[in-house]
Amino acid sequence: MIKRIGIHAVVAVAGFALIASSFILTMTAHAQSAAAACAIAGNVARHLTTGSTGADVTALQNWLISKGYSIPAGATGYFGTQTRAAVAAYQAANGIVPAAGYFGPITRAKVAAQCVVVVPPADDQDDEDEDEDNDDDKQNEADESEDALEDARDSLDNARDEVEEANDDGEDTDDAEEDLDEAEELLDEADEAFDDGDYDEVMDLIEEAEDLIDEALDDVDADDEEVDGDDNVETSAEVNDRSGADNDIATFEIEFILNAFNQDAYIDEDTSVSINYEIQDSSGDDVGGATSLSAVLQSSANQDDGYFVVEEGEEETFTLTVSFDPLAADEGAHYRLQLESVEFNDTDAAPDQTWTASPENRFRTDYVYIAD
């Protein structure tokens, strides 16, 4: 819609007064936008340089474009290499030294003094409306790309923290680090594409980078979880009350499932090698000594020369049975069995990896009372 506004006013611009006699001014949407850009560009309250963002950057870009200084990506609100080049061209044309593309106090004062809006003829309204729609679409693409770039950079930083932590824990993170380095190179390319206004390319590069970030995190997760315990745990505890003194025996049983990821898992049949557990008193403390203490491990897994073998990608059931007869001084109390961890290897060799029973309260029996 075209507004015809009668104006008789004095307009102050950077200390200069422009006197306008009564006349009819046709103000199109483009002119309104240019006026706003000019007003902001002539009154920017801060210095602008590469990396700056905001409405004042958008206003400066609109003003530079209106003066014929090319910014192919348009008024994106991001001060990139194209905006720096346009500012440098303006500085060179107006005798500002050095013409480095930095929008500082000298350039700001010069723009303020020159900030005058040129109003296009009313008969260009349709073209201007179409141009404004295109500018809005371009701005939306720029905003989406900028947000996506910021999110991708955050994801990369978080992934580097996780990989560094895994490295500190002694894990091999070479492949993960290579993936993250490649992802960073892709995001650098995306920054360049953003400066060129090629927002489709920006989004494609971000997608490739995020795939690599996911791969890096998968590598770390795989190292953390070569073997995982299923939540489906069954426990039992009972006391065999035999006649006579000092001979009651408690039998504890914990049945659990182990899943093998990315490798086979070899678990020694000898519980003194493969299983870590505690007999705990009513305070949850390890009682240590016992008149009689024995443990047996059974499994649905195949057996191979003294090992239970959980094949890669498979799960098997394990049952730990422990018999416990406390010392005479420890009788007349409550006890339970707590499974702590399982030691394993990816070959039939001494264990070099550990699966930890977590949370602990899912891998313990109820208490039973042993009288004598």
Distance, in Å, from the CA atom of 341 to the CA atom of 245, rounded to the nearest integer, reads 34
Give every CB contact of residue 218 below 8 A, 6+ residues apart in sequence. none
Question: What pLDDT, on a 0 to 100 scale, did the predictor assign at position 224?
Answer: 52
Question: What pLDDT, on a 0 to 100 scale, did the predictor assign at position 215?
Answer: 87
Question: What pLDDT, on a 0 to 100 scale, did the predictor assign at position 107?
Answer: 87
Question: What pLDDT, on a 0 to 100 scale, did the predictor assign at position 35?
Answer: 58
Q: How many CB atoms neighbour CB 12 within 10 A?
A: 8
Question: What pLDDT, on a 0 to 100 scale, did the predictor assign at position 4?
Answer: 36
Sequential DSSP letters for 148-202: HHHHHHHHHHHHHHHHHHHHHTT---HHHHHHHHHHHHHHHHHHHHHHTT-HHHH
Phi, psi of 312, deg, nearest 5: -55, 130
| Domains located in the chain, CATH noted | 3-120 (1.10.101.10), 128-224 (no CATH), 228-370 (2.60.40)
Sequential DSSP letters for 183-195: HHHHHHHHHHHHH
Distance, in Å, from the CA atom of 120 to the CA atom of 89, rounded to the nearest integer, reads 24
Q: What is the pLDDT along the chain (372 residues), one digit of tens a residue?
A: 333 333 333 333 333 333 233 222 333 444 445 555 565 566 777 888 888 898 888 888 888 998 899 999 999 999 999 999 999 999 999 999 888 888 888 888 888 877 654 445 555 566 666 667 677 788 888 888 888 988 999 999 998 998 888 888 777 888 889 999 999 999 999 999 888 889 899 999 999 999 999 888 877 765 455 666 666 788 888 877 655 566 788 899 999 998 887 889 999 999 999 999 999 888 888 887 566 678 899 999 999 999 999 999 899 999 999 988 888 878 888 889 999 999 999 999 999 999 888 888 889 999 888 887
With tokens 């996780």, the residue in question is 162
Question: What pLDDT, on a 0 to 100 scale, did the predictor assign at position 237?
Answer: 80
Give every CB contact of residue 247 below 8 A, 6+ residues apart in sequence. 325, 372
First to last CA, the chain: 98
Question: What pLDDT, on a 0 to 100 scale, did the predictor assign at position 282?
Answer: 83
Q: Which two tokens stand for residue 242?
A: 């035999």
On the question of a cis peptide bond just before residue 359, with omega within 30 degrees of 0, the verdict is yes
Question: What pLDDT, on a 0 to 100 scale, did the predictor assign at position 28?
Answer: 42
Q: How many CB atoms neighbour CB 144 within 10 A?
A: 13
Question: What pLDDT, on a 0 to 100 scale, did the predictor assign at position 273?
Answer: 93
Kindly give the pairing relationship between strand 249-260 and strand 315-325. Answer: antiparallel
Question: What pLDDT, on a 0 to 100 scale, did the predictor assign at position 123?
Answer: 57
